[in-house]
Structure 1
Amino acid sequence: MKTMKFGIGIIPQDNLDENIELIKLAEDVGFEYAWISHKSDMNMYQLLKAITLETETIKIGPGVTNPYIKNVENFLYEMIHLNNLSNKRTVFGIGPGNRKIMKELNRQWSNPVSTLKEYVQKLHESFEKKKSNIPIYIGAQSPKLLRISGEISDGCIVNASHPKDYEELLPHIQKGIDHSKKDMKDFDIAAYTPTSIDNDIEIAKNASKIVVAFIIAGCAPPLLERHDIPQEVRDNIYLSLSRGNIGNALRFIEDDLIDIFSVAGTSKEIIPKIDTLKESGVTQFIVSAPFGRQQNESIKLFEDVISSF
């Protein structure tokens, strides 16, 4: 069985130094990957370059961007330059985008799946011609995109925290891998997981509640059914959040919902949860917000978790 790798996923802040210090801390703790969300109002290349120059071992890349922000040629130049600058530490995560992002970009969101597939194929071809072996990950949730990720990418970034989800998702990835005549052992399945760690379990769980509430509010019926969550619970949470009544929304977040949509607890409690995901086929665990009550102190607590794998 493959070993578990660890990544950290961040939404970058406006203060460049804060982003750099956070990734440097993650590197010191033992994280192997840093995935930086691509905000439409930021210069991703400059941010990645700044982090690259201040780190030594951690792999760095967008996690994820989309095909509508830049054309292939621009991304190609930037990623190859970063890969040379970082001594081959660049990774590239890309997804289909969504309506919210398209509105921010003032772009029409048309044929997202075929657009993404064509974009990734062009990147692969160009990377090979330039002899720059940059791994490409596709951010995917739908069966079609999961299959495509298995077919044309080196890994898949999935927003899911529970083994039941991977029982449902992995067969679609396997279909793509089989179609391309690759081997699953060479494919990285990365679980982008809301994570909260603290020496006090209740503090860890409480920190995760707001993230879990927003996830449930956006859940489609099939996901609710998979985890036996009544539609009424989702509707109550959604209504509370839409009215700005966060306190009321959090009243509906019980421990079972925290366990379904996040990984929260002390180091001792988190380790077996990650191990269960590993047994389900996950090969990279990406720690994402909320991290815990105090971001930097929470990240430091992951040193013991990472060393256990």
Structure 2
Amino acid sequence: MTEDSSGSAEDGGSSSGASTLGSVDPADISWGIELTPEHPVDRLASLAKRAEDAGFDAAFTSSHYFNRDPWITLSRMADATDEIALGPGVVNPYETHPATLASAVATLDEVSGGRAVCGLGAGDRSTLAALGIDRDRPLRRVLETMQVARDLWAGETVTHDGAVTVEDASLNVDPVDVPVFVGAQGPGMLGMSAAHGDGVLINAAHPRDLAWASDQLDRGREKRAADRDPLRTLAFASTSVAETEAAAREAARPPVAFIAGGAAEPVLDRHDIDHEAAAAVSDALERGALTDAFEHVTPGMIDAFCVAGTVETVTDRYRVILEHVDGIVVGSPLGPDIGAAIERAATALSAASPN
């Protein structure tokens, strides 16, 4: 793929044309779950099976250098399950070259029997900073990575020189068709995902943010090719569900710290969160002082960035969330008891979902 022959990256040109879908149809994903590889791989495989049995359609595994390798984890999850779709949620094109990323996803599709999905995003700014990586041109990198991956999955030899670079690259695997869900929060990434993605993972747990995101997606849909399938919209909602409200909220502190620490000022303003309080969280994360960062999380941050509480509380919030999106990915931490939280979250999703 070259920008001269297949359209500019801004236009989303790709020599493979409109993407076609293989074994995983984004329209079939309504209940997703994030299984963070902070636990032993065998346990995660068991949890993936538990999620499949509870009725989840897809399991996503986050990608951070300080956790276990997501690809090895996903491979074990594939061995332990039969039907649930599996993929990174999300992987970024900074730590991993787009061609290497495409190869990993294609391999996952092969070992899972066609169950791969690809959650692709710009990555967490503070985590990348810890590796000395400057998250430059995030929108173009994600868009061009999606284009390069699709062409490689189609069996093409790809040359591309832009925010990402490949020259005469190809994969020694059978062609695959893998849906790409773009992880998005800001207006540019949301608009791009609506124009070019198969689906979007909206990094939000509050209806106020999702209502705003819906407007950005509508603008992006105006640029979507007419022959593309409808965009599948999923709220990637940090969730902590437990027997008591207090236990659920305490378990929510770690993921909320990462969300609040990377939140843009307009997002903070939308929830009346003090900028200095958020900066304190962000500074601690960049220093690697995780405990300090978690202690700086305020009740208002938990309210804004996590669905935290009992099954009844979570059901009520999910019901409102589903007024704005097609489905929900139950994001980490899930709850203080992860195994029990899988069933509790499934109960909440079932009660909140339209009949």
- Structure 1 residues 250-282: Cα deviation after superposition (integer angstroms, max 9, x where no partner): 6x425xx533221122222212211111112x2
- Are 2:61 and 1:36 equivalent residues in the alignment? yes
Does 213-222 or 114-123 show the bigger shift?
Answer: 213-222
Residue 97 of structure 1 aligns with which residue? 123
Change beyond 3 A, Cα 1:233–1:5: same
Instruction: Give secondary structure in 2 for the equivalent of 1:84.
Output: helix
Percentage of pairs with the same residue: 28
Instruction: Give secondary structure in 1 for the equivalent of 2:116.
Output: coil
- Are 2:307 and 1:263 equivalent residues in the alignment? yes
* Alpha carbons 1:195, 1:264 under 8 Å: kept: yes
- Pick aligned residue for 1:204 from 238, 244, 248: 248
Does 235-244 or 81-90 show the bigger shift?
Answer: 235-244
- Are 2:119 and 1:119 equivalent residues in the alignment? no
Residue 88 of structure 2 aligns with which residue? 62
- Structure 1 residues 232-253: Cα deviation after superposition (integer angstroms, max 9, x where no partner): 6546777899896679646x42
- Pick aligned residue for 2:223 from 148, 170, 179: 179
Instruction: Give secondary structure in 1 for the equivalent of 2:322.
Output: helix
With the length of structure 1 as denominator, give the TM-score of the two structures.
Answer: 0.84
Change beyond 3 A, Cα 1:118–1:52: same
How big is the alpha-carbon RMSD for the aligned residues of Structure 1 and Structure 2?
A: 3.2
Change beyond 3 A, Cα 1:76–1:218: closer
Q: Which has the higher contact order (CA 8 A, sep 6+)?
A: 1
Residue identity opposite 1:33 in structure 2? A
- Pick aligned residue for 1:288 from 331, 337, 351: 331
* CA–CA separation in structure 2 for the residues paired with 1:220 and 1:82: 33
Residue identity opposite 2:209 in structure 1? D
Change beyond 3 A, Cα 1:29–1:247: closer
**Cα drift, residue 70 of structure 1:** 3.3
Residue 25 of structure 1 aligns with which residue? 50
Instruction: Give secondary structure in 2 for the equivalent of 1:60.
Output: strand
- Pick aligned residue for 1:166 from 210, 218, 230: 210
* Alpha carbons 1:201, 1:265 under 8 Å: kept: yes
* CA–CA separation in structure 2 for the residues paired with 1:163 and 1:177: 20
Instruction: Give secondary structure in 2 for the equivalent of 1:61.
Output: strand
Instruction: Give secondary structure in 2 for the equivalent of 1:20.
Output: helix
Counting only pairs closer than 5 Å after superposition, residues 230-241 of structure 1 correspond to structure 2 as 230-231=274-275, 234=278
Does 290-299 or 214-223 show the bigger shift?
Answer: 214-223
- Structure 1 residues 20-70: Cα deviation after superposition (integer angstroms, max 9, x where no partner): 122122112111111111233654333222211111111100111111333
**Cα drift, residue 297 of structure 1:** 1.7
* Alpha carbons 1:4, 1:278 under 8 Å: kept: no
Instruction: Give secondary structure in 2 for the equivalent of 1:301.
Output: helix
* CA–CA separation in structure 2 for the residues paired with 1:53 and 1:217: 35
With the length of structure 2 as denominator, give the TM-score of the two structures.
Answer: 0.74
Tell me the number of residue pairs that the alignment of Structure 1 and Structure 2 aligns. 304
- Are 2:325 and 1:300 equivalent residues in the alignment? no
- Pick aligned residue for 2:97 from 71, 84, 103: 71
Residue identity opposite 1:28 in structure 2? D
